[in-house]
Amino acid sequence: MSTGLRYQFARLGIAEKLIAINVLIFIVDKLVVFLLGLPGDSFLQWFELPKDFFRFIGQPWSMVTYSFFHAGFGHIFWNMLVLYFSGRIFLNLFGPRRFINVYFLGVIVGGLIFLLGYNVFPALLGKNTALIGASAGVTAVLIFVCAYIPNQEVRLIFFNLKLWYIGAFIVLIDLIQIPDGDNVGGRLAHLGGALLGYVYARQLVKGRDIGQGFSRFLDGIANMFKRREKKAPLKTVYRKKKARNRKSDVNYDKENHQRKIDTILDKISKSGYESLSKAEKDFLFKAGKED
């Protein structure tokens, strides 16, 4: 049975995997606390992002782990619902690596804005709170999509709306509700995620991927847990020359492939996703799966 579950999990897209992990952690957290008769925050306190800077220094992992815990069913339901739909649009344009960059950089920037707000703004200095929830990462993905293809229309119940209208509305709601004192920490984290998503998208339109350094960092961590395979040296001049030619051919194919992707993305930016032909959509979808 465990093999079957692993197989089903492996078949999921990156957004669906994140949703599955979040839901599993939510269920396990609630069950363990209930069945063992523990206080509500006895387990959570090790993973939530505290507002106190010195406590955060003692548990730096909480800058990421806070995003996997949610306060209640409504909290996780809406976060995962938005992540599912915004993730589908995102992954029609780009692959899982860039999705991970935007999502987790949004989580980190959202956490930093939360920490900064509760240690700088006088109105928040005396508050005792902590941050949990995937909202910053979810907002980063959503605002990225809204900023990258702002004029793309999506169906919202009975009418169509341009994506940039949706993004502007969400940011405006968070800004308006901060003075009400309702979930101020969460609102600050949302705005941090929104800022990351917007900047990432606009820089990508200009040809700059600000998440490349983060990708290399993740690759470095992954490599720590992998065995490095030793490559056998090439023994003849003929084989070395052939290897160089093969590498040159591969690089040439990659450049052509990337140029075609850039051309399609430029068309989306100017005219919207629906302006693509079926062949272009299929090519972009396959390219996203390979990324």
pTM for this entry: 0.77
Distance CA 24, CA 143 (A): 26
* pLDDT at residue 157 in the model: 80
Give the rounded percent of residues in the chain with a pLDDT score beyond 90.
60
- Whether the CB-CB separation of 106 and 141 falls below 8 Å is answered with yes
228-282 confidence digits (pLDDT tens): 545 545 544 444 444 445 555 556 567 777 777 878 877 776 676 667 777 777 7
Q: How many CB atoms lie within 10 A of CB 30?
A: 15
- 185: Cα within 13 Å, side-chain hemisphere: 22
**pLDDT tens for each residue of 171-210:** 999 999 999 878 899 999 999 999 999 999 999 999 999 9
pLDDT at res. 245: 52
Q: For strands 130-131 and 49-50, give the pairing.
A: antiparallel
